[in-house]
Chain A
């Protein structure tokens, strides 16, 4: 079976003055369809860079990235845009809704860029909003919704294009624990419906909800396996659980 995501010795190196910073220092991994993967790590561990590369928002300095069997690390900007549009659905910590568009227009955006007809855009966006229980808020502006509702809108937007992978970057980071749980429950539900989910978090307890955990530290994978806190947390530094600063 072809893995949905395959990293082959990926490096991401930033030039900081005279010194090189290896944000990702040789990561190889495979993620298969239907998995619920959590990438966990501290601030500066490289997990966000990892997610940016998975999401085709950034390109690796070295190495190859195959998405659904296709090498996407050497594609043109527009080809990557198409991959993001067709294969990926993003859920960001800061929701990243466009404030001057209505909830419905926000959810329609990926469909608009996919070139669907107006009518189809609306139907699918409304269906997507229905799934997150916000169909009645379609005509509202994002600013009129609570944080949890806005995050649900962004989930609806991620789902609208029916992507192969849902990428969630600290989706609960900006929410209180109750709404955070709701959102997490929603991701679990999506997983049970057969969606592939990649969750990025610094929080071990959240990572523990996933089916598989990859712990990243100093740009390398230090743990890959069952979400058994006792097992994967042993390699973590002390004080990691307090989750001070979030990367975004």
Chain B
């Protein structure tokens, strides 16, 4: 008995009793769709989170220190020296001084913007892959001379100037700064977004802030591969300088991404396990239907046996039927799950593309369950004595 014909017979059996077939398949459809939807959405979410972190630079290392007073302290010279001594590990260094909620305005205008001002070094643009579309980023001289220069995001330009801001002046907390560069637009230029930024030399920022010394440094590792090594180096240096781990923290973005991935991974696994349970329930549904079907079709089995069907033929018929029912259910589930995942993804603004892995696994599991749960009733069917089966009403 060839396989193709068996499939055709199984398919015609499914079509013969549509209601029952659909009810049988429902469990598998829901299970497969659930697996695909959950995995796709989790993938989309993980992707979004990872992208956000990647945007911040996977090689970025952040150091914050507390001034201990006395001789134990960290100066920017120490950090620069560390970089210069280890060019194979560290590439960029920028002290980071933040002036929170500064009032920014253009002289003669009543429009004001309240935003955080970042005091950084000239290396910061390269470290963070900032692109200046108009003018240029802060340079070494400006940083050394406490120059009152600034680079602004497109949101600030739009809010305060409307037109090009290059060469214009603006007032930050009452002090006049010259705009030397405008950054490339990154998002939809909302308040608090990545275009709502103003960069000034960290030296200038330090002067105008209440902080006595620099408490934050941003560094970049040469590559992602050496990020951990670079982080260890920094920690060792800081420990040497400060004498106590409590006075500093040093984290790498890669480390954080790992943690986030670990978390989302665990969540995906949990959700998939839940979806897996519904798949299993679907499989048990198939087993129930197959058991009923074998009982109902005992006479048919008797007829087939009287015509010369061997146990193997009867068994393969039932197993193929169970496999086909769950396979068709699986395909419907895949289509349904993919469509729902993509639609929900669109709604949530996630790239929720169903992964090939999820589809293959969901389909494999559904067909597998169908075959396994179809096997037992099929074995019973095949063992029936032909005359007993024929006499069954």
Contact = CB atoms under 8 A, between A and B. Distances in A.
**Do the two chains belong together in a single complex?**
yes
B309 interface: yes
15 contacts: A57-B306, A57-B386, A58-B385, A58-B387, A78-B311, A82-B310, A84-B308, A86-B308, A90-B306, A96-B390, A98-B303, A100-B16, A112-B1, A118-B5, A157-B307
Contact of A85 (B12, B307, B385, B387): B307
Given A57-B390, A96-B390, A113-B310, A81 B305 contact: yes
B307 A84 contact: yes
Interface string A90-108: 1010001110110000000
Contact of A100 (B13, B309, B312, B385): B13
Contact of B308 (A58, A98, A113, A118): A113
B240 interface: no
A109 interface: yes
A78 B310 contact: yes
Contact of A81 (B5, B12, B309): B309
Nearest to A157: B307
Interface in A174-188: none
A96 B310 contact: no
Interface residues of B, number: 25
Contacts of B303: 96-98
A110 B5 contact: no
Given A96-B390, A118-B5, A113 B306 contact: no
A113 B313 contact: yes
A75 interface: no
A127 interface: no
Contacts of A77: 310-311
Contacts of A55: 306
Interface in A197-230: none
Contacts of A118: 2, 5
B311 A90 contact: no
Given A57-B390, A90-B306, A113-B309, 20 more contacts: A57-B305, A58-B386, A77-B310, A77-B311, A78-B310, A78-B311, A78-B312, A81-B308, A81-B309, A82-B308, A84-B305, A85-B308, A85-B309, A90-B307, A96-B299, A109-B307, A113-B304, A114-B308, A157-B307, A248-B391
Interface string B202-228: 000000000000000000000000000
A60 interface: no
Contacts of A239: none
Contacts of B309: 81, 85, 109, 113
B143 to A, nearest CB: 84
Interface in B1-20: 1-2, 5, 12-13, 16
Nearest to A102: B12
Contacts of A97: 303
Nearest to A53: B387
B229 interface: no
A219 to B, nearest CB: 17
A81 B299 CA distance: 16
Residue with the greatest number of chain A CB neighbours at <10 A, chosen from B303, B309, B311: B303
A97 B305 CA distance: 13
